[in-house]
Amino acid sequence: MKYLSEYRDADVVNKYLDELHEITTKPWTIMEVCGGQTHSLVKNGIIGLLPKNITMVHGPGCPVCVTPLQLIDKAVYLAEVQKVILCSYGDMLRVPGSKKSLLEAKANGADVRILYSPLEAVKLASENPDKEVVFFAVGFETTAPANALSVLHAQRQGITNYSILTSHVLVPPAIDALASDEANVVQGFLAAGHVCTIMGISEYYPLVEKYKMPIVVTGFEPVDLMQGITMLIKQLENGEYKLQNQYSRVVQPEGNKDARSVIEQVFEVREREWRGIGTIPISGYEVKPEMKNFDANVKFNIQIEAQPNNNECIAGEILRGIKKPMECPQFGKKCTPLHPIGAPMVSSEGACAAYYHFANINAEHETV
């Protein structure tokens, strides 16, 4: 398979591993921001192959994990009380709200559907004119164009029974918040390749300068990750801090202008709460006031109060890299993928679930 099998080649991975073992002389702590990268690192067993003095910290880049409790409660409310057809990406369904998850609401009779594309939800709305259809628009910059496009499609087709419940977060403000944290332990970042495919790479230059920290825009296949980690460690070992683009076969420096234009027509940047981390300024997308007819918050005048997060969950410390999933007293005991206390245990991109699924929870080391 062109552009896929080459990036899963064991020989190429080993070449980078050899280089990495050769150049790594000091202990380094680096973070992959994106949950897709966490998933790939653990699925392919990469962490166990790295030199022992490289510590990978799994960042907050799992959109499911950082979606606030209040938004899950809102989605459940729309499905149960407003009787809408609530459409969502699959892994949002198991995330616990303050009382229940969407999966539990579905089992109780709410019309909750798993879709792969928000455009399917628009189709559903046109096929069910007597029902309201809401798409739970979750994600980083990556899914924002498709979610925004669904609104433009509905508007163009005159569909009035479609709206979105937005939970969009942005990567650069999150890196800014993490790097400026007094407890920060991270010395370099792997930035998410697909986010940069949309947004370009210019937003990362100021971060590199401000924190004098290397950032490498990186892809998701084993060879991508190994090359990205090697590029980052090389910079750290040489005392350099630059923005580099490992994923140049996909990421253009200017990003995808058309996709960004779609985002700008529907969304505006606002302050946003990140589950487990807190509120970060200018770190999320909300539907613009002029598009309010497609904003489920406005349309259904949702009044759901924020509930406190479960204080047994240390997701905040895990997502900031201060603690490892195994350092949580509940990990694998009270908190499992079947009964998650916190969101990172839900999505397979979540740091806790990734460790639970793919790492040896009984072993002393991170991976077997």
Which residues contribute to the site for other proteins (CB under 8 A)? Answer: 1, 8-10, 13-14, 36, 39, 42-49, 63-64, 89-94, 103, 113-116, 120, 124, 138-140, 142-143, 194, 222, 336-338, 347-349, 356-362, 367-368
List the beta bridge partners of residue 270: 284
- Two structure tokens written together for 310: 């479960």
Q: How far is CA 166 from each of CA 46, 68, 99, 135, rounded to the nearest angstrom? A: 34, 11, 20, 8
> Which of 124/178 has CB closer to other proteins?
124
State the minimum distance, in angstroms, from the CB of residue 49 to other proteins: 5
State the minimum distance, in angstroms, from the CB of residue 268 to other proteins: 22
List the beta bridge partners of residue 29: 55
State the minimum distance, in angstroms, from the CB of residue 356 to other proteins: 7
Query: Any idea which residue has 């009382």 for tokens?
Result: 99
> Which of 79/208 has CB closer to other proteins?
79
Query: Any idea which residue has 């603690």 for tokens?
Result: 323
Q: How far apart are CA 263 and CA 259, in angstroms?
A: 6
* Gyration radius of the chain over CA positions: 20
- Two structure tokens written together for 158: 């005159």
State the minimum distance, in angstroms, from the CB of residue 219 to other proteins: 13
Residue 338 phi, psi dihedral angles, 5° rounding? -75, -35
> Which of 103/322 has CB closer to other proteins?
103
> Which of 156/339 has CB closer to other proteins?
339
Closest CA to 264 of 101, 141, 112: 141
> Which of 7/211 has CB closer to other proteins?
7
Relative to beta strand 112-114, strand 243-245 is: unpaired
State the minimum distance, in angstroms, from the CB of residue 48 to other proteins: 6
